[in-house]
């Protein structure tokens, strides 16, 4: 078979802003969580961060977007489906993907771009707060199924909002391509029943140990078995320093983590 593209990505597009702060507790922010914030909360946080934070990094983000960016840099032909704001950040997000060779013609623009605040404190604790903005308005009617069908794989990651989540469920049932799905914590907390339409059409599932346990209410090995029952071919579960665990119908692999030179 001939495919015009290797992979199309479909997920949230955010500007990641990494701030260093002295202590998360003093900002009354729970450590180690990823959650959605309100416009009001963000306004307050900006004020605090201007005084008490140091901006360490600003880059394009969103799980599927990061994956597609990396694949593009490796020379794979990729496209992306998503939504940015009609703003400087949106132009920046599109430019970053374009520079990696990714086709950005199917990225819609509306209102303000999504923002992901990553807060790191001195004790290396981190907290992530997301303001989805334009991401939350991406609907099924804005998705080009024929475009997806030109690829060998569709790689999906999570959206916070209900409208794009509904769009993902519909896309999963309508498309002919193999789906690679990385639910992330926002989707994992929705539970297995809510995700079933996507899981039943997924070829490979990538998730962390914590996400596997949240999603299945079982330890990750039992959870992976349960997920294969949905018709998924391969479940790949990352275990932090312990490496990763991969399960398919044919085999079970425990892959040690590669030591990276920091």
The pLDDT assigned to 124 comes to 82
Residue-number span of the structural domain to which 76 is assigned: 5-13+61-112+132-255
With a cut of 90, say whether residue 72 has pLDDT above it: yes
- Mean local confidence (pLDDT), 17-46: 85
With a cut of 70, say whether residue 30 has pLDDT above it: yes
**Would 120 be classed as within a structural domain?**
no
If pLDDT is split at 50, 70 and 90, which confidence band does 258 have? confident
Q: How many structural domains are present in the chain? A: 1
Q: Which residues contact 59 (CB under 8 A, 6 or more apart)?
A: 15, 16, 96
220 in Cβ contact with 237 (< 8 Å)? yes
The pLDDT assigned to 74 comes to 98
**Would 45 be classed as within a structural domain?**
no
The pLDDT assigned to 260 comes to 67
- Closest C-alpha to 201, from 220, 235, 176: 176
With a cut of 90, say whether residue 138 has pLDDT above it: yes
C-alpha–C-alpha distance, residues 47 and 206, integer Å: 37
Instruction: Give the C-alpha distances (Å, rounded to integers) separating 204 from 3, 25, 121, 125, 250.
Output: 19, 38, 35, 31, 14
- Inter-helix orientation angle 209-216/220-228, to 10°: 60
The pLDDT assigned to 32 comes to 78
Residue 116 bridge partners (DSSP): 16, 130
**Would 32 be classed as within a structural domain?**
no
The pLDDT assigned to 262 comes to 53
Helix (H, G, I), strand (E, B) or coil at 245: strand
Quick one: what percent of the chain has pLDDT higher than 90?
A: 80
**Would 82 be classed as within a structural domain?**
yes
Residue whose entry in the numeric block shows the structure tokens 């308005």: 137
The pLDDT assigned to 1 comes to 67
136 in Cβ contact with 163 (< 8 Å)? yes
**Would 150 be classed as within a structural domain?**
yes
**Would 232 be classed as within a structural domain?**
yes
pLDDT digits (tens, 9 = 90+) for 145-199: 999 999 999 999 999 999 999 999 999 999 999 999 999 988 899 999 999 999 9
**Would 28 be classed as within a structural domain?**
no
C-alpha–C-alpha distance, residues 238 and 78, integer Å: 24
The pLDDT assigned to 31 comes to 80
The pLDDT assigned to 250 comes to 96
Task: Name the DSSP class of 33.
Answer: -
**Would 76 be classed as within a structural domain?**
yes
Q: Tell me the CATH number at 106.
A: 3.40.1190.20
């Amino acid at each position: 078979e001939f495919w015009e593209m290797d992979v199309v990505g479909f997920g949230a597009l955010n500007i990641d802003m990494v701030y260093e702060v002295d202590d998360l507790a003093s900002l009354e922010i729970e450590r180690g969580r990823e959650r959605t914030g309100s416009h009001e909360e963000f306004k307050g946080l900006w004020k605090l961060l201007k005084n008490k934070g140091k901006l360490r990094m600003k880059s394009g983000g969103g799980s599927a977007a990061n994956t597609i960016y990396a694949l593009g840099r490796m020379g794979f032909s990729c496209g992306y489906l998503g939504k940015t704001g009609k703003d400087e950040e949106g132009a920046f997000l599109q430019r970053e993907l374009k520079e990696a060779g990714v086709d950005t013609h199917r990225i819609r623009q509306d209102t303000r771009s999504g923002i992901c605040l990553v807060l790191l404190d001195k004790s290396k604790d981190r907290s992530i707060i997301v303001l989805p903005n334009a991401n939350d308005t991406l609907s099924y009617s804005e998705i080009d199924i024929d475009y997806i069908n030109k690829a060998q794989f569709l790689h999906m990651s999570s959206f916070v909002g209900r409208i794009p989540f509904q769009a993902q469920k519909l896309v999963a049932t309508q498309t002919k391509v193999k789906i690679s799905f990385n639910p992330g914590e926002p989707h994992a907390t929705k539970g297995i029943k809510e995700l079933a339409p996507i899981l039943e059409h997924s070829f490979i599932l990538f998730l962390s140990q914590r996400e596997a346990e949240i999603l299945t209410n079982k330890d990750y090995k039992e959870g992976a078995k349960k997920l294969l029952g949905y018709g998924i071919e391969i479940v790949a579960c990352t275990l932090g320093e312990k490496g990763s665990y991969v399960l398919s119908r044919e085999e079970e692999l425990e892959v040690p983590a590669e030591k990276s030179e920091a």
